[in-house]
Amino acid sequence: MENLWIGDVARRAGIQPSAIRYYESVGLLPEPHRLNGRRRYGPEALTRLTVIRMAREAGFTIAEIRALFHSFPDDTAASLRWRAFAERKIGEMDAIIGRAQRMRTLLEESMRCRCLTFDDCALVGWPAADGGRCG
C-alpha cells in the first residue's frame, strides 16, 4: 500500500483527521513523513489506529495507551505489553463491578421500604443488623 494522505487514513480508520492530529500531538502516533508540507502515512498508521481504537473500547485512557506504546523496552512483545495493561484494567473493572453490585443491592433493598419518614427508616443506617429491611 502506498503512503496515504491524512484524509485517506481518516476515512479508512473511520475517524476525523483532527483525531489523527490529536493522537500525533499526544504521542500515540509517530510524526508522519511530509511531502510538500502535507502529512503522508504508511500502513503502520492504520494498524496503530486500530490498536488505539481497541484500547479506547477496552477503557484505556490516552495516558495508558501512550504508556502501552512507550513505557516498555522496544523489543518487548506487543502481547506482553497488552497483557500487563489488561490485567491492571481487569482489576479496575472488577472493583467497578463490585461497586455497581453493591449499588444495585442497596437500590433493590430500598425499593422494599414502606416507611413514611426517613427518621423511621432502617435503610438510613444501611447496612443495618437486620439486613437493611425496614417497615
H helix runs in 71-121, sequence order:
78-110
Helix (H, G, I), strand (E, B) or coil at 54: helix
CA nearest neighbour of 49 among 9, 8, 2, 89: 9
Q: What is the dihedral of CA 102, 108, 112, 113, to 10 degrees?
A: 50
pLDDT tens, position by position, 92-135: 999 999 999 999 998 888 888 888 888 877 666 665 545 545 65
In the block, which residue shows the cell 438510613?
124
pLDDT tens, position by position, 6-62: 999 999 999 999 999 999 999 999 989 888 889 999 999 999 999 999 999 999 999
Q: Identify the H or E element spanning 39.
A: strand 38-41
Q: In angstroms, how far is the first alpha carbon of the chain from the final one? A: 71
Q: Look up the pTM and report it.
A: 0.75
CA nearest neighbour of 133 among 111, 100, 101: 111
Write the CB contacts of 83 (distance below 8 Å, at least 6 apart in sequence): none
Check if the beta carbon of residue 5 is closer than 8 Å to that of residue 39: yes
